[in-house]
Structure 1
Amino acid sequence: MNHSSHSNFYPSALQCVTSHYDDRPDPQDVSLLVIHNISLPPEQFGGKEIEAFFCGKLDKSRHPYFELIADMRVSAHCLIKRSGEVVQFVPFNHRAWHAGKSSFQGRSICNDYSIGIELEGADHIAYTNAQYASLLKLSHYIMALFPHITLARIVGHCDIAPLRKSDPGVAFDWPLFRQGLSAL
């Protein structure tokens, strides 16, 4: 598929420029969608700390936890805030740094062939209806752009790094999400 530069940006997203990405080994090899959660500080919502973190501009002095993570170079393609607002950091045809050490169906380095979506949230706190609505629309857009991403190839961070990660957590309603995707 020919990925024009326009299609690699979600039209409804606010663009937030980061340098925390690089080229994919094969831009045509995008076949996995990974759902994460993040909150900064942990289990606190609102503010601009997530955007600052993904852009390498997190102020260490604002919270003790930030001292531990501020120097990490991490990103995701998109963040869905509690309000449902979508923020995009990395064009879909580039590699965001969201998965870390990971493997899916025997293939390692998931960042090479996946798209990462972060939900502002925590493992044990319910996500908002607005987040599910935005996640469904964004996932549908991504699946149309990258047809190798099928329902079976949409996973949580916990599925590709099970010994390290638990997100999107028990609060994420997989049946609701999958039913919504099937209905689109």
Structure 2
Amino acid sequence: MDNEKPDGWYKQARKVASPNCDPRPTDEVSLLVLHAISLPPGQFSGPAIEALFTNQLAADEHPYFTAIAHLRVSAHFLIRRDGECVQFVDTDQRAWHAGRSRWWDKQRMEWRQALNDFSLGIELEGDDTTPFTKAQYHTLVEVVTWLRTRYPALNISRITSHARVAPLRKTDPGPAFDWAYFYQLLNINSVDAL
């Protein structure tokens, strides 16, 4: 029993289980995709993100919600503006976060698709224009440190943005995300990440 891998629930996160997940086709976890989300767009706090990821978003609560309430999406984690971490999906399971996307795997020297199969998704509560909070960066670094310990393949070159894997569809986490500050907190030279 001592050699058994613990489950993929981060103990410091508040657990809100999402039904929008399924088993991974392999044991590979080798990519981390950073996202940003605010619901309604540009508004922070409130229950809408958790409602979306648990299929409980009421379409009539806001005009924007009518277009998205039917979606079946999730992420492994959400990091709120105050730094609170919420986990929706066990990291050993496949969360439905990347959608139609592709990523150039430098180690394999090939384009890869079906990113949900081998990636983790972290949503930051925010948008393209509002700076993220220091509390969010600090929590993000704590989560990423835990993930990199759990999944050794997650080196810095395997942390990317939703915008990079779906450039014609997505812009998040956007220009408001400070990659240099994030790398500094991780104690990583940003040049090494490119």
TM-score by length of 1: 0.95
The residue correspondences of 1:56-71 to structure 2 (distance < 5 A) are 56-71=55-70
The unaligned stretches of length 5 or more in structure 1 are: none
Deviations 1:62-92 (A, max 9, x none): 1000000000000000000001000000000
| Secondary structure, counterpart of 1:135 in structure 2 | helix
Q: Could you say which residue in structure 2 is the equivalent of 1:80? A: 79
Give secondary structure in 1 for the equivalent of 2:187. helix
- The corresponding residue for 1:23 is 23
**Structure 1 residues 178 and 71, CA gap change in structure 2 (3 angstroms):** same
Measure, in 1, the Cα distance between the counterparts of 2:103 and 2:54.
27
Deviation, structure 1 residue 112: 0.5
Q: What's the offset of the Cα at 1:50? A: 0.2
- Partner of 1:130 in structure 2? 135
Give 1 or 2 for the bigger CA radius of gyration. 2
Give the distance between the partners of 1:182 and 1:163, measured in 2 at CA. 31
Runs of 4+ in 1 over 6 A off after TM superposition: none
Distance across 2 between alignment mates of 1:133 and 1:23: 30
1:112-140 Cα distance to aligned partner (Å, 9 max, x none):
00000000000111000100000000000
Q: Calculate the TM-score normalised by the size of structure 2.
A: 0.91
> Per the alignment, do residues 2 and 143 of structure 1 end up closer, same or farther by CA in structure 2, a change over 3 Å counting?
farther
1:1-184 correspondence runs (5 A): 3-5=5-7, 8-26=8-26, 28-105=27-104, 106-182=111-187
Q: Distance in 1 between matches of 2:28 and 2:136?
A: 27
How far has the Cα of 1:2 moved from its partner?
5.5
Contact 1:31 1:146 in 2 (8 A): yes
Q: How many residues are paired up?
A: 180
* Contact 1:16–1:89 (8 Å) recurs in 2: yes
Contact preservation (8 Å) 1:123, 1:170: yes
SS state at 1:159 partner: helix
SS at match of 1:33: strand
SS at match of 1:132: helix
Task: Say if 1:3 and 1:93, in contact at 8 Å, map to a contact too.
Answer: no
Tell me how large the CA RMSD over aligned residues is: 1.1
| SS of residue paired to 1:53 | helix
